[in-house]
Amino acid sequence: MTWQLASLLDRKGLKLGHYVGEFVTPGIGYILKEAGAEYVFFDMEHSGNSFDTINRGLRYFEAAGVPALVRVPSDSYHHIARALDIGAEAIVIPMVGTAEQAKSIVDKMKYTPKGSRGLGLGLGNDRYHMAPHAEAIRAANARTRFVALIETAEGIENVEKIAAVDGVDVLWVGHADLTASMGIAGQYDHPDYHRALERVLKAGRKHKRGLGRMVTDIAGGIAEAKQGWDLICYHGDAWLLQVAIRQGIDGIRAGVRAKGRKGAG
């Protein structure tokens, strides 16, 4: 049985993926695979995706060999444990603000003796493979990963302590929420925002954590990779489709109008 997510996150260097929150179709895993995506950021927080949708979507991504980071709506045990039980290998938790919160999340994610997650073995979390309990517990604890979303002023203030928590694997900046929390919503050129990013980079490097960001343009992705962000998520499904369709429609309209004006002259 191949588990790709842990080895992907442990690999040095740039890893590129894509956000899916809208189009959970049977072909989506293969579409992303053919496009070169190395992982998918699969969202429950800002989407209508239920656990049933996530359950089906994970099978699509597994079939295509695209590992998934699953963002749940909160740090509640109910959200974390259910997402893990249906097969999420990595859980993305929004609004991580303190080391204490991070430790509590690790406890909810890991089986004994590393945590207190309830046992539900041989299900989607184990790809329906049944193994002795001790073996299954060790394997699950080793492969299950925690992506902490740093997207509040509190999270920035405590980012080094969060990064130091055993069990935190990735620090991921939620840029929109972070600027809003800092009172500079959408001001991505603001010096306070850039100082905040530097704090995350510094903490991640010090504690050897992955560093994640979302980008919506190629130039931005290149720049962030050069800064040291190694998990870059290029654009989101609904937004990217809308942008591509608009470009095509606007381009055709503009071309027809230009031809009409030329003919009229």
Q: Which are the contacts of 109, defined by CB distance < 8 A and separation ≥ 6? A: 80, 84, 91, 115, 117, 144, 146, 167
pLDDT score recorded for residue 127:
87
How would you classify the pairing of strands 39-43 and 68-71?
A: parallel
Q: Please, is 164 exposed, middle or buried when counting C-beta atoms within 10 Å of its C-beta (0-12, 13-18, 19+)?
A: middle
Q: Please, is 214 exposed, middle or buried when counting C-beta atoms within 10 Å of its C-beta (0-12, 13-18, 19+)?
A: buried
pLDDT score recorded for residue 73:
97
Structure tokens belonging to residue 73: 């709506």
| Four-residue CA torsion sign, 207, 212, 218, 219 | negative
Residue-range domain boundaries for the chain: 4-264
pTM of this structure: 0.94
pLDDT in tens, the chain (265 residues): 567 899 999 999 999 999 999 999 999 999 999 999 999 999 999 999 999 999 999 999 999 999 999 999 999 999 999 999 999 999 999 999 999 999 999 999 999 999 999 998 988 888 889 999 999 999 999 999 999 999 999 999 999 999 999 999 999 999 999 999 999 999 999 999 999 999 999 999 999 999 999 999 999 999 999 999 999 999 999 999 999 999 999 999 999 988 777 766 5
Tokens 């079939």 belong to residue: 63
pLDDT score recorded for residue 262:
72
Structure tokens belonging to residue 124: 């989607």
Catalytic residue among 46, 78, 129, 133: 46
pLDDT score recorded for residue 261:
75
pLDDT score recorded for residue 3:
77
Give the residue among 6, 37, 5 at the shortest CA–CA distance from 20.
Answer: 37
Give the residue among 233, 207, 239 at the shortest CA–CA distance from 221.
Answer: 233
pLDDT score recorded for residue 1:
57
18 is catalytic: no
pLDDT score recorded for residue 123:
86
pLDDT score recorded for residue 265:
56
User: Into which CATH architecture does domain 4-264 fall?
Assistant: Alpha-Beta Barrel (3.20)
CA distance 196 to 218: 22
Tokens 């230009």 belong to residue: 258
CA distance 84 to 19: 19
